Structure 1
Amino acid sequence: MKLKCIIIDDDPHAVNGIKAYIDNLANIQLVQSYTDPLQALNEITAGEHVDIIFIDVDMPKISGLELSKAIRHKTDKLIFTTSHSKYAYEAFEMYASAYLLKPYTFARFAETINHLFPHRPSIHNITVKQEDDYFFVRNKSEKNNLIKVRYADIVAIESLQNYVRIFTLNETIVSYIALSEIKIILKDYQNFAQAHRSFIIAKNYIEKVEGNTLKMINDLTINIGNNYRDTIQEYIKEKTIKTNRS
């Protein structure tokens, strides 16, 4: 049986980030997401009990800390998401089960769920292969620094002459590496496809298709190249619900 969860965050990008992580976990079901904390208060109070509520701390109208007091009884686990570590103590004062310090990786997200539900049989499938779920690249602006890039966090990769721009859920990384080298690294991962001579995309982060344009998560827009249109359209066709209507 899937874990039912709710997301509350006034930042749509943060909501989309959690949604994307949930999409990568087969045993979690998103019931509802809110960017208006007052709407969340009204609907959650009147709604059914859920397994997890992800809630931002710093929100307008009513803070996450205040909101948590009113809805804590409606969930088994309450997870605060915040950009400020100073809220951690206050979060646990509100009987929070855990907190995620933004920006957090998919691995951290999955590990938190595993920790909170250790005896739930269906959760044992939520695993992260630490040995092969990421790679390192050198940051263009900080050549002596290596940055870890997790496959599950990659939204798209853009070729820019002799370097690439890697769009992830939480940041954009520029590195001196050729797109052809990235293609070799990603060749065993079916979720990635080339959509344009300058772009590789993560197919699960396509939010909308408008003609020959892909609207990705986090408002990233990519035009489909002529040489890659058939491959992308075939994927979209496979994922489109078929009806008897024309």
Structure 2
Amino acid sequence: MIVAVWQRAAASRPPTKENSSSTVVVKALFAAGRGCPTEKAEVISRFEWYFAPRCLGNWRSSSRLALESCRSGLVILLLTALRMSTLPLLPLTCVIADDNEMNRLTLEHYVAMTEGLTLAGSFPDGVACLNYFRAGGTADLLLLDISMPQLSGLELIRILPEPLPEVVLVTTHRDYALDAFELQVADYLLKPLDYARFSRTVDRIRTRRAALAPPAPPVEAAEATFGPEGNTLFLKINNRLTRVNFDDVLYIEAMSVYSVLVTAKHKHIVYSTLKVFEERLPFSHFMRVHRSYIINSRHIEAVEDNQILLPGGHKVPIAKAYQESFFSKLRGL
């Protein structure tokens, strides 16, 4: 496919409206996005010699200015598109709030159809949705109806706790677009909703969040192996093994598919999820206090304003969903 695109490009003398440079650029982008690495490399290597002299609209111009203009614009566009086509999808979690069961089931079906989108909760009204977030629940995306009993979608947005998810209003009403703009919602979708429109919205949100995401953990994240006695962990980076005693661990923090073991002196990035640690740790003094944190209760210095104070000035929040079990275990120590 890519070879054919370039053959058509080279045959045009000069480019017509139907076979212009910009048209061939688009075709090459789509073709390269589906091609193998060798084909993508071929597209990149051929891009400058064909498109650079032509993309400014002058067929015969091959001046340095034209080349530099293309290199600063279209080449960057092409390289970015090719690289993005090989990147994994940014995973997103999603919550739905809609009092209409059929609409809610439709959205749940659309979420299940969308790669990289996981349903964290589905609620029949705004109050249940608000309670989910107040209990420490999180989501990247909130699909929200406007007209709901007791608490409308617009009222819910105004009182949601931080951090706020990306909110997409899904409604039959056209009259709330100004309110949606003032509340800075990510999108405003009208029912009945088709999957193509839904998918474009998710892709746009995913692209924006990916651009704002912090850098990925370093590639030297360690592989973790539990010691035979159960109270130690061996971390392997390249050919080096580092022993970590769990008694020295202040807390463990989730970071995507990684976890961070924090001691008084070091932070160890481990290629293991927080759930794995929660299942494998045999000690009752390690407690889950938040979706993203496990703490070592032996190092607690104080508890203040639903925060656990640890040595070295470390503070770990206690999510509402974990408060009852945490304080119950704390009293039993």
TM-score w.r.t. the length of structure 2 is 0.35
Relative contact order (C-alpha < 8 Å, sep 6+): which is higher?
1
Which one has a larger percent helix, Structure 1 or Structure 2? Answer: 2
Which one has a larger percent strand, Structure 1 or Structure 2? Answer: 1
Larger Rg: 2
TM-score w.r.t. the length of structure 1 is 0.46
